[in-house]
Amino acid sequence: MALALSPSLIVAHISAYAHLDKGSETIHSQTSILCLPSCLENPRESAILLETLHRYLLEKPDQSSLHGPQPPCAIVTWETNEGSFYSGQPPLNRLSFQRQSPEKLNAHLNAPNARFILFRDLKPLVKKDSPSEWLFLSKSDIESHVGPDFSGPSSEDAASKERSRLFEAARLPAYLPPIVFLGIDDRADASTDSKPMSEDPLNPRGVPYFAMDAPKGDWVPEGGEFGDARSVGSGMGGWEAGVFAQGRALVDWNSRNKFCAGCGSPTYSLWGGWKRSCTSALEPEEGKEACFSTKGLHNFAYPRTDSVVIMGILNEAGDKMLLGRQKSWPKGMYSCLAGFIEPGESFEDAVRREVLEEAGIVVGPVRYSSSQPWPYPANIMVGCFGRASDDQTIRFDLDNELEDAQWFSRSVLAGLVGSKEGSYLSKDDLKKLDDTSTGKAKMEDDRVTANALAPSEDQGKKDVDAEGKKGRQGMELTRVPPDTAIAGMLIRTWVNGGVELASTSKL
């Protein structure tokens, strides 16, 4: 049954139970703290009430002081995560509602201030003398490689709604390289005529950005070079890294999906690089059944993002964190455990399953922390904290993925995150990590690997050494991920004491 409560009634209802003092709590666009009355036990009702009241208080700041008795309550905090690397800070205005319009996209494509970023084999084009800076190109720089503008339906095709959809900002013929419209930079300092959506929702203005896969061969724009993706990406500033993450993921998706998953025919690009469709629909063969992909909605027609949980698992007292390492990683490198979220699985369930499978540890409470785009090749990393009881033995014989995993104290990790060397990764180190993620790392025989990773009776019970840095078989923790990776952020958040909820909640 739907709730029929106005914001004013909700405020009146809450004021009987909760108290927010303007002098001690400030309600603003990024954070608001309020108390749930203990009588509201229906989760759905509580969620609706919280959301409605939150919006009301943001719109009515004069109502942010609610007077009344204050019973035991739960503290709920809304907080915008602006520290996630690769997320833009702020991101481009993607203008997704313009992607189907060839007129809109061509206006951006031919704008005098339009900028293009290039990739070759997913390596970004950067300045030769400053390899962590983009070499942005104008359309005139790459005119001979771009080809024609985005096309729309002919007058004949436009008469049919079904046919018209086949030509929404399309790149035809199909062999043309996709041009991906990333969006516009509508920040005030981006252009003299910038206008954000808050001022003009239908026609915001800014600097358009596009991404392309560079043509094969030796051509490299003057003053540029194609740099190693991981080392270049992690060295960029936050805003540039957001453009990198978006562009690389879309260029990669277009290059991987040149043939239809339904019938094997070539595909072509639509929606400014955000959709691919089967060419069999363009000129149907009489008497031949149409490819099923030309009807309905199919996930392989649109860019996908694979979800991964990154787990900062704490012990019962909250003063140790579980970190592990794979055999192919750089020497001394440990990180938070991680794993893909499977179909029909929540974030919390994925955390518990992955930690159990990788380290044999049963996890209790789980709390979402933050997320991060990860363009290697196209993931969304979901950072979570969890807690586990102390009376458990680490084991590696379930899925044999880890070489080692141990509990490390806050003081040990604080020493690493507080030093430059504690998160330093060379180009060779980054290549090892990249080879691991892409499956290029050489794997030993399964039997040998299993024997090496499966703990003996006393190995599984062995704690870290007195210094807290050495794990199984004398392996020493010398490095953790940098703060450009969400695992590094989880470690630093905990080291700096920012995980009170996860550290104090009951198991």
State the Cα–Cα distance between residues 260 and 191, nearest whole angstrom.
Answer: 40
| Rounded-to-integer distance, Cα 269 and Cα 275, Å | 6
Q: Flag whether 314 is in a domain.
A: yes
| Residue 296 belongs to a domain | no
In a domain, 428, yes or no: yes
Q: Are residues 56 and 180 in the same domain?
A: no
Lookup: tokens for 288: 């031949």
pLDDT tens string 463-479: 444 345 555 555 789 99
User: H or E segment at 183?
Assistant: strand 179-185
Is the pLDDT assigned to residue 16 strictly greater than 80? no
Q: Please report, rounded to a whole number, the percentage of residues in the chain having pLDDT higher than 90.
A: 51
Residues 317 and 446 in one domain: yes
Q: Please check whether residues 20 and 58 belong to one and the same domain.
A: yes
Instruction: List own/partner pairs for 98-103 with CB under 8 A and 24 or more apart.
Output: 98/181, 99/168, 99/169, 99/181, 99/271, 99/272, 99/274, 99/275, 100/168, 100/169, 100/271, 101/168, 101/169, 102/149, 102/150, 102/151, 102/152, 102/167, 102/168, 102/169, 102/170, 103/152
- Rg of the chain's alpha carbons, rounded to an integer? 26
8 A C-beta contact, residue 172 and residue 151: yes
Residue 320 and residue 175 share a domain: no
d(CA 100, CA 285) in angstroms, rounded, equals 26
pLDDT digit string, tens, across residues 383-398:
999 999 999 999 998 8
For the stretch 107-127, pLDDT in tens is 999 999 999 999 999 999 999
Confidence of residue 51 (pLDDT cuts 50, 70, 90): very low
Q: pTM here?
A: 0.75
In a domain, 193, yes or no: yes
Most confident of 48-52, 102-106, 288-292: 102-106
Query: Distance between CA 498 and CA 492 in Å, rounded?
Result: 9
Is 133 in the same domain as 74? Answer: no
- Mean pLDDT, to the nearest integer, of 189-201? 83
Distance (Å, rounded) from C-alpha 301 to C-alpha 296? 11
490 membership: H or E segment, kind and range: helix 486-495
Single-letter residue type at 426: S
- Domain-located, residue 175: yes
Residue 497: CATH number of its domain? 3.90.79.10
Closest CA to 364 of 310, 315, 399, 404: 315
Q: Quick count: other Cβ atoms within 10 Å of Cβ 459?
A: 15
Q: How many domains does the chain have?
A: 3
CA 198 to chain centre: 25
Query: Alpha-carbon torsion 286, 292, 298, 304, what sign?
Result: negative
pLDDT for position 418? 83
Q: Evaluate whether residue 323 is within a structural domain.
A: yes
Judgement on whether residues 255 and 213 belong to the same structural domain of the protein? yes
Close Cβ partners of 95 (under 8 Å, ≥ 6 residues apart): 104, 181, 183, 184, 204
130-151 mean pLDDT: 92
Q: Please check whether residue 84 lies inside any domain of the structure.
A: no
For residues 211 and 255, membership in a common domain is answered with yes
Evaluate whether 423 touches 416 at the Cβ level (below 8 Å).
yes
- Taking the CA atoms of residue 155, residue 157, residue 161 and residue 166 in that order, the dihedral angle to the nearest 10 degrees is -130
Whether residue 294 lies inside any domain: the answer is no
Q: How far apart are CA 446 and CA 300, in angstroms?
A: 33
Task: Give dist(CA 367, CA 77) in Å, integer.
Answer: 13
Task: Judge if 392 and 487 occupy the same domain.
Answer: yes
Tens of pLDDT, residues 332-388: 999 999 999 999 999 999 999 999 999 999 999 999 999 999 999 999 999 999 999
Higher pLDDT, 55 or 112: 112
Domain that holds residue 36: 7-79
Could you tell me if 62 and 105 lie in one domain?
A: no
Peptide bond into 221 cis (omega under 30): no
